[in-house]
């Protein structure tokens, strides 16, 4: 059976601030993010299985991303736990504090780690791309992280 890569793309809005950074990104600002997830696996061969012929149902992948990624990133303000903006959660429940500087690169690493915990065992994450602007993005490849 052939191995196939399956890709689904998502969009979400989020804000962040890069504490300690010297540029304009040190202050709270937002982006329209574009997330591209590529899985890899072998299509299911069991004719009795409703997902026969699929690596993973596109709808199932959508639900995994929606439940475990978009639910904690979409329309959230992402801040480092020691951020100088600490306390904003008192007036806005959509603040998420993280253990890392919320750069595009680190947010992507966080997303990859979450996805790897929730994909079915027979489906592997091949690559992920997080686009922060129309011409700026971070990429992750499983082959680079063996």
Residue spans of the domains in the chain: they are 4-144
Pick the catalytic residue: 9, 13, 52, 75?
A: 75
8-state DSSP, 90: G
Architecture of domain 4-144: 2-Layer Sandwich (3.30)
pTM: 0.95
Pick the catalytic residue: 25, 34, 89, 105?
A: 25
Per-residue pLDDT at 1 exceeds 80: no
Percent of the chain whose predicted confidence (pLDDT) is above 70: 100
Active site residue 132: yes
Rounded Cα gap, residues 142 and 19, in angstroms: 29
What Cα–Cα distance (Å) separates residue 29 from each residue in 25, 47, 88, 112?
7, 50, 14, 23
Nearest to 39 by CA among 75, 14, 64, 13: 64
In tens, the pLDDT along 67-87 reads 999 999 999 999 999 999 999
E strand intervals along the chain: 4-16, 29-41, 76-80, 95-98, 124-133, 136-141
Q: How confident is the model at residue 146 (pLDDT cuts 50, 70, 90)?
A: confident
Nearest to 57 by CA among 11, 12, 8: 8
Contact assessment for residue 45 and residue 64, using Cβ atoms and an 8 Å cutoff:
no
In tens, the pLDDT along 96-128 reads 999 999 999 999 999 999 999 999 999 999 999
Chain centroid to CA 92: how far?
A: 22
Active site residue 105: no
Active site residue 34: no
């Amino acid at each position: 059976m052939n191995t196939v890569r399956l890709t689904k793309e998502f969009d979400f809005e989020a804000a962040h601030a890069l504490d300690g950074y010297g540029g304009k990104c040190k202050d709270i600002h937002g982006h329209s993010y574009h997330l591209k997830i590529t899985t890899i696996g072998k299509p299911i061969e069991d004719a009795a299985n409703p997902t026969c012929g699929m690596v993973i149902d596109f709808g199932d992948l959508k639900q995994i991303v929606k439940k475990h990624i978009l639910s904690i990133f979409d329309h959230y303000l992402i801040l480092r736990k020691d951020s100088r903006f600490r306390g904003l959660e008192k007036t806005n429940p959509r603040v998420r504090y993280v253990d890392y500087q919320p750069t595009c690169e680190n947010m992507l690493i966080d997303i990859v780690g979450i996805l790897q915990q929730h994909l079915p065992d027979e489906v592997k994450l091949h690559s992920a791309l997080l686009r922060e602007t129309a011409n700026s993005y971070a990429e992750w490849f499983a082959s680079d992280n063996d």
